[in-house]
Structure 1
Amino acid sequence: MDDGTERRALLLHLGDVLEATACVMKCVNRFNTVGEAAGQEESLMSFSILRMVDAEMTPYEFAKRAASAFFLWPKALLEEHVNRPLLANLVQHDLFSGHQSGWDSYVAERRELVPWFGEGLDLVTEPDLEAGVGAWPTLTH
């Protein structure tokens, strides 16, 4: 695959995540968890990411974590050289903290179109309650 095709795939994925977030937030008053919402709301069943994140996460928590995990993607994907570790590390840290099996599924799905996604990252860590979501790792190009 070429760089342009991989960037396009990641930007399309970002769009899917934003759509999933918007749809989850429309159901926030009917479901206590993302797992409930994804399992019972037909409009959410097509969003695989909702089956990969911790099913006990609240819709608000999902929206907060997804925003934190993906906010740098548009800018990073438009840079001359893509900071590959940064893209994956943000998602791992902010959306999959403490949920290794979900992360493994997510990486496997991303690698269908972007073979390098998630390469070289450590195992998922437990949530850092002191730092919280938004304490981003420092990675360089």
Structure 2
Amino acid sequence: VDYGPEGAGENAAPAAAAAPPPPPAPITRANAPAVIDQCISSIQQYRAGGDGGKALDLLTKIVQKMLENPGETKFERLNMDGKAYKSKIKPFIGGLKLMQAIGFEKVSEDGGNHLVMQGRDDELLGVALGKLQDGLRVYKTRR
């Protein structure tokens, strides 16, 4: 059975493959708030065991600690091989991207992988904190 157009048999040229989707737009200061919203929305979808809430809670604490301790670089670095990252951020679509949207970049050093704050922007961190707190509140009310 041939379901192709009439005359398109075995000797017909194969149809052109669909073009791959364009790569996502880079995160900029201008689009970061929208990216943060998308990431929070994605994380909120994880309902089993309250996993999405745990991820949002950790992300909220990370941003809050950074804002409360502006000179402390220990809050601007996260071990990607650590238990908290591996269990509460990495598994969820939107977790890493949210970290990148607020200014973290992946860095391989000292035999491990880290997320390190690059170009800290306290105004953006404040926006992110508000969005995360709202997202966590919404998550908790949807149970």
Which TM-score bucket, shorter chain as reference? 0.3 to 0.5
- Give the TM-score of the pair, scaled to structure 2: 0.32
| Structure with max Cα Rg | 2
Larger helix share, 1 or 2: 1
Larger strand share, 1 or 2: 2
